[in-house]
């Protein structure tokens, strides 16, 4: 191959490479996450359920009735005003929030949460995820998230998260997380986490964690962890 032919061959190969590279840079991207398929003619990313194409938020193309292009009190979920109290309810939850539930103007129910007819959600509270609030529960200045369940309880200035269950109890200025279960108890200024169980007890300024079990006891200013069992201490 002489010099001119070599140059021509190199030019053709380089041109083909540039064309291929350009085509790759603007190729159609397709990503499927949690049953949703997103497409983009360019750079595509999906983070925390929010998809962006070349830096701009996009829908999945499936016409989800819940999704909003702008951020709301429920993240990127469309919301509507709840008739009883004037609070916000995600379109995702409109069929699982009772029309009789009271949700004040400063509060919101998001995600696919379930809220019963006699429930009150007020004073800046937010219920999200797939949480379920039932019975005569009152939620004040609190955040209920995850798949938590609250029944016939009063939650004030507290956070209930994970898959926690609170039944017939009063929780104030406290955090309940993990897979904790609280039944017929009073919890104040405390943290209950892990797979802890608290029944028929009063917990004040204490930390209950691990797989601890507290029954029919008064726990004050203590740290209870591991597999500790407390019963009948008053």
pLDDT < 70 stretches in the chain: 1-28, 33-36, 48-49, 57-64
Identify the pLDDT of residue 123. Answer: 98
Residue 87 dihedral angles phi and psi, to the nearest 5°: -75, 180
Q: pTM surpassing 0.85?
A: no
Domain count, the chain: 3
How far from 134 is each of 94, 117, 153, 187, 191, CA to CA, in Å?
16, 8, 9, 19, 23
The domain that holds 184 is classified in CATH as 2.160.10
Separation between Cα atoms, residue 79 and residue 94, nearest integer Å: 9
Long-range contacts of the stretch 43-46 (C-beta < 8 A, 24+): none
Last residue of a domain, one of 24, 40, 64: 64
Query: Using only C-alpha atoms, what is the Rg of the chain?
Result: 27
Q: How far apart (Å, rounded) are the C-alpha atoms in residues 37 and 35?
A: 7
Q: Do 220 and 144 share a domain, yes or no?
A: no
Backbone angles phi, psi at 16, to 5 degrees: -65, -40
Say whether both 17 and 28 belong to one domain.
Answer: yes
Q: Are residues 71 and 128 in the same domain?
A: yes
Q: What is the DSSP string of 13-79?
A: HHHHHHHHHHHHHTPEEEEEETTEEEEEES-EEEETTEEEETTEEE--SS--TTEEEEEETTEEE-E
Please tell me the predicted confidence (pLDDT) of residue 209: 98
């Amino acid at each position: 191959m002489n010099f001119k032919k070599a140059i021509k061959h190199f030019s053709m190969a380089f041109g083909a490479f540039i064309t291929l590279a350009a085509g790759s840079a603007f190729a159609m991207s397709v990503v499927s996450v949690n049953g949703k398929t997103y497409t983009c003619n360019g750079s595509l990313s999906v983070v925390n359920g929010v998809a962006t194409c070349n830096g701009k938020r996009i829908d999945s193309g499936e016409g989800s009735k819940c999704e909003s292009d702008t951020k709301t009190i429920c993240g990127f979920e469309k919301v509507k005003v709840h008739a009883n109290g004037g609070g916000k309810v995600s379109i995702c939850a409109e069929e699982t929030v009772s029309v009789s539930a009271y949700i004040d103007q400063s509060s919101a129910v998001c995600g696919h949460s379930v809220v019963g007819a006699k429930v009150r959600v007020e004073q800046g509270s937010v219920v999200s995820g797939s949480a379920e609030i039932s019975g005569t529960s009152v939620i004040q200045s609190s955040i209920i998230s995850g798949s938590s369940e609250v029944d016939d309880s009063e939650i004030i200035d507290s956070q209930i998260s994970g898959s926690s269950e609170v039944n017939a109890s009063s929780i104030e200025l406290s955090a309940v997380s993990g897979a904790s279960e609280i039944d017929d108890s009073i919890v104040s200024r405390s943290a209950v986490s892990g797979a802890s169980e608290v029944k028929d007890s009063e917990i004040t300024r204490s930390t209950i964690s691990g797989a601890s079990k507290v029954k029919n006891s008064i726990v004050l200013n203590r740290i209870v962890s591991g597999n500790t069992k407390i019963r009948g201490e008053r």
